[in-house]
Amino acid sequence: MNKLNAKIPDGPLAEKWTRHKASLKLVNPANRKKLDIIVVGTGLAGSGAASTLGELGYNVKVFCYQDTPRRAHSVAAQGGINAAKNYKNDGDSVFRLFYDMMKGGDYRAREANVYRAAEVSNLVIDHYTAIGVPFARDYGGLIDNRSFGGVQVSRTFYAKGQTGQQCLLGGYSALTRQIQAGTVTMYSRRELLDIVVVEGRARGIIARNLITGEIERHAAHAVVLATGGYGTIYYLSTLAVNSNGSAAWKAYKKGALFANPSFIQIHPTSIPVLNEFQSKLTLMSESLRNDGRVWVPKEKGDKRNPNDIPEEDRDYYLERRYPAFGNLVPRDVASRAAKERCDAGYGVGDTGLSVYLDFRDAIQKQGAKAIENKYGNLFEMYEKITGESPYNTPMRIYPAGHYTMGGLWVDYNLMTTIPGLFAIGESNFSDHGANRLGASSLMQCAGDGYFIIPYTIADYLSNQIKVARFDTKRPEFEEAANNVKGRIDKLLAVNGKETVTSFHKRLGKIMWDYCGMYRNEEGLKKALTLIKELEEEFWKNVKVPGSIEGVNQELEKACRVADYFEMAKLLCTDALNRKESCGAHFREESQTDTGEAKRIDSEFAYVAAWEYNGPDKEPTLHKEPLTFEYVKLQERSYT
């Protein structure tokens, strides 16, 4: 089991990171420019890592598939970013943030990593403020905070409903400064299609130039993946439509272990599906639940206009079931409760697959202006999509695939099981256990990028100084590039009768039905069969037009969807293995009398890390046991 040495430092929780930093080796400033680092991804994690490593003097190459790093999907985060500043004097602390994340993650994360994420959160806010991120302020000119997603302190920093955009543009501007300075070279419109391993270490990547179609080879002393989440495996999700799991998946196939792949958060407040051609689901930030009240009619099939349904005919089911937390219960709880009501026939809208999120009372109490100040842009967004104004009529919402807690397994240094290959941000598995607390992802992504990876990568690189730059003509690069071309040729050669998107939709439906909010053994087994069948059909009947050369957006999609077929099987295998319910992973076989998730700590208090064994072989499960010294495992209770 020595494949999984998490390398957690000794010592008391609050001192681990400080002690560890003191023990990490450094790279002399004069040597840094001899060391090449590839960073794939320019979200909060990637832009943070790249600019900081550039500032330190390393020679950095950054990749993203968009035309500019400023469009990475972090741009879409709405609600906010957490930090343990305790600016509100309401009893917050690093320890409390740590505790909330552990509890929110249903005790399936590592204490040491989570504590560190909470610890560096304050530095993140300081840095973003210093580089010009316009966080919301109060009338005294100081930064304002709000409460977010099921916690009882106000520790969320925000910039209207565009926090991700503002943080990302801050990170992007720091990145452009390094591009100008020449420490960072930007390779936009590139898609990673393989990782190159030389003598057991990650030494480069193969990327397709999305304009010329050229299959490029890039070498480096170390590779950092910051490629985000794989929620688009459901086809419909809150992610940007080009988001993909391919980078992490290629790493897995090259030997990096993949941890807890089935842990996917379903967000409770997305705009519901409105038409059969729908290509994505738009999130309505959960900050809305601070003021909006969730309800459905008490009477099944009540078709009255919501404004005509009197108070006594409304079922504010979250407030009813969870009086202590009400509308602010965690995401998984809110999502399942919405599905429960809809499945029982109380859902609203044409499809019956939505519930109301109502601002009537908040507007009455605080005035429309106050509500506009807080949520103006979200209300506008909602109106653009649905044609209805939330000022006058309740929003309709429904759960949607949103965030992947699972990801590449990393040790305390954020290194995968391939030496020299690091994973940061949403692409790793490390900090959110089985469920992520709202506003903690931006915090973790930025923390990883600015304040963790620069230290830990130096330790790895400290003995690589004498390693000369790699020639990309080496056989390892040759082989990887040929494999990539071979796969592309194979996709183009099928020349069948069904579009990539159509296959993606069908795969997404299988995943949503059997590996979504509710899972059970029979369903997961069925899903495995269905996925295999559909995958075979894909390789026989997909139609990918055009050639490898030049712009070919269908080919881009085809590469991603082909990977998703493989990944979907691992998700189901993982969900099948974990016979307990925890966080977002709800196994119907494991629930309490009141229908809440039931963990089985005696059997499942571990990280499930999967090892690839070849195309038609079952993966091997490695278990990293989780031990808890500082938190007391409790049944999560929000009643």
Give the footprint of another protein on residues 238-267 (CB under 8 A): 240-242
Of 180, 305, 594, 602, the one binding another protein by CB under 8 A? 180
Among 439, 500, 507, 524, binds ligand FAD (CB under 6 A): 439
- Interaction partner, residue 160 (another protein, ligand FAD, none; CB < 5-8 Å by kind): another protein
Residue 440 interacts, among another protein, ligand FAD, none and using kind-specific CB cut-offs from 5 to 8 Å, with: ligand FAD
* Strands annotated E in 104-164: 145-146, 156-157
The identity of residue 553, as a single letter, is Q
Q: Is 331 a catalytic residue?
A: yes
Q: How far apart are CA 501 and CA 507, in angstroms?
A: 10
What is the x/- site pattern for ligand FAD, positions 209-248, by CB under 6 A? -----------------xxxx--------xx----x-xx-
Cβ atoms of residues 261 and 610 within 8 Å: yes
Helices (runs of H) and strands (runs of E) counted in the chain: 18, 22
* Paired tokens of 348: 């609203």
User: Is residue 410 near ligand FAD by the rule CB under 6 A?
Assistant: no
Sites for another protein among residues 1-60 (CB under 8 A): 48, 51-52, 55
3-class SS string, 332-354: HHHHHHHHHHHHCCCCCCCCCCC
72 lines the binding site for ligand FAD (CB under 6 A) = yes
Residue 165 is a binding residue for another protein (CB under 8 A): yes
Going by C-alpha positions, the residue among 515, 587, 467, 473 that lies closest to residue 196 is 473
Which of another protein, ligand FAD, none is residue 135 near (CB under 5 to 8 Å by kind)? another protein
Contact between 324 and another protein by CB under 8 A: the answer reads no
Q: Binding mask 436-465 vs another protein (x if CB under 8 A, - otherwise)? A: --------------xx--x-----------
Taking CB within 5 to 8 Å according to partner kind, which of another protein, ligand FAD, none is near residue 177? another protein
Other Cβ atoms closer than 10 A to 124: 27
Query: Total residues contacting ligand FAD (rule CB under 6 A)?
Result: 46
Q: Strand locations in 271-414, DSSP E? A: 293-297, 314-315, 355-358, 395-404, 407-408
Query: Closer to ligand FAD at the Cβ: 147 or 238?
Result: 238
Which of the choices another protein, ligand FAD, none does residue 45 contact, using the CB cut-off of 5 to 8 A by kind? ligand FAD
Q: Among the options 108, 190, 217, 331, which is catalytic?
A: 331
Restricted to residues 207-236, the positions that interact with another protein (CB under 8 A) are 211
CA–CA distance, 494 with 559 (Å, rounded to integer): 13
Which of these ranges, 338-346, 419-427, 469-477, 532-540, lies near ligand FAD under the rule CB under 6 A?
419-427
64 lies in the binding site for another protein (CB under 8 A):
no
| Residue from 4, 37, 44, 175 binding ligand FAD (CB under 6 A) | 44
Q: How far apart are CA 261 and CA 230, in angstroms?
A: 10
Q: Which of 16, 20, 34, 70 binds another protein (CB under 8 A)?
A: 70
Question: What are the strands of the beta sheet with 258-259, ordered from one edge?
Answer: 407-408, 258-259, 606-611, 620-625
* Cβ burial, residue 326 (10 Å; 0-12/13-18/19+): middle
**Residue 143 interacting with another protein (CB under 8 A):** yes
Residue 74 interacting with ligand FAD (CB under 6 A): yes
Distant-in-sequence, close-in-space partners of 616: CB < 8 Å, separation ≥ 6: none
Between 231 and 297, CB nearer to ligand FAD: 231
Is 164 an interacting residue with respect to ligand FAD (CB under 6 A)? Answer: yes
Binding to another protein (CB under 8 A) within 517-546 occurs at: 543, 545-546
Q: In angstroms, what CA-CA distances link 189 with 213, 450, 550, 552, 619?
A: 10, 24, 12, 12, 33
CA 543 to chain centre: 30
Closer Cβ to another protein, 272 or 438, answer by number = 272
Q: Which residues in 296-315 contact ligand FAD (CB under 6 A)?
A: none
Among 4, 35, 49, 65, binds ligand FAD (CB under 6 A): 65
- C-beta closer to another protein: residue 64 or 434: 64
Element holding 610 (H helix, E strand): strand 606-611
Q: Minimum distance between the CB of residue 285 and ligand FAD, rounded to whole angstroms?
A: 6
CB of 142 to another protein, least distance (A): 5
Q: What's the CA angle centered on 16, arms 10 and 17, to 5 degrees? A: 140
575 with 585: CB under 8 angstroms?
A: yes
Residue 539 buriedness (CB in 10 A; 0-12 / 13-18 / 19+): middle
- Asked if 585 interacts with another protein (CB under 8 A), we say no
Lookup: tokens for 345 = 């026939």
Q: Which of 63, 107, 115, 135 binds another protein (CB under 8 A)?
A: 135
Please state, in angstroms and rounded to a whole number, the distance separating the CA atoms of residues 100 and 14. Answer: 16
Task: Give CA separation, 219 vs 1, 375, 468, in Å.
Answer: 31, 46, 11
The answer to whether 77 contacts ligand FAD (rule: CB under 6 A) is yes
Distance of CA 87 to the CA centre of its chain: 27
Least spacing, CB of residue 436 vs ligand FAD, in Å: 8
* C-alpha distance from residue 274 to each of 348, 353, 385 (Å): 13, 10, 9
Cβ proximity of 50 and 62 under 8 Å:
yes
In contact, 74 and 164? CB cutoff 8 Å: yes
The answer to whether residue 202 forms part of the interface with another protein (CB under 8 A) is no
- To another protein, the closest distance from the beta carbon of 27 in angstroms equals 16
Pattern 73-112, another protein, x by CB under 8 A: x-xx--------x-x-------------------------
Residue from 18, 370, 385, 540 touching another protein (CB under 8 A): that is 385
Q: Which is nearer to ligand FAD, 238 or 335 (CB)?
A: 238
Residues forming the active site: 331
- Binding residues for ligand FAD (CB under 6 A): 40-46, 63-66, 72-74, 76-81, 163-164, 190-192, 226-229, 238-239, 244, 246-247, 283, 402-403, 425-427, 439-443, 445
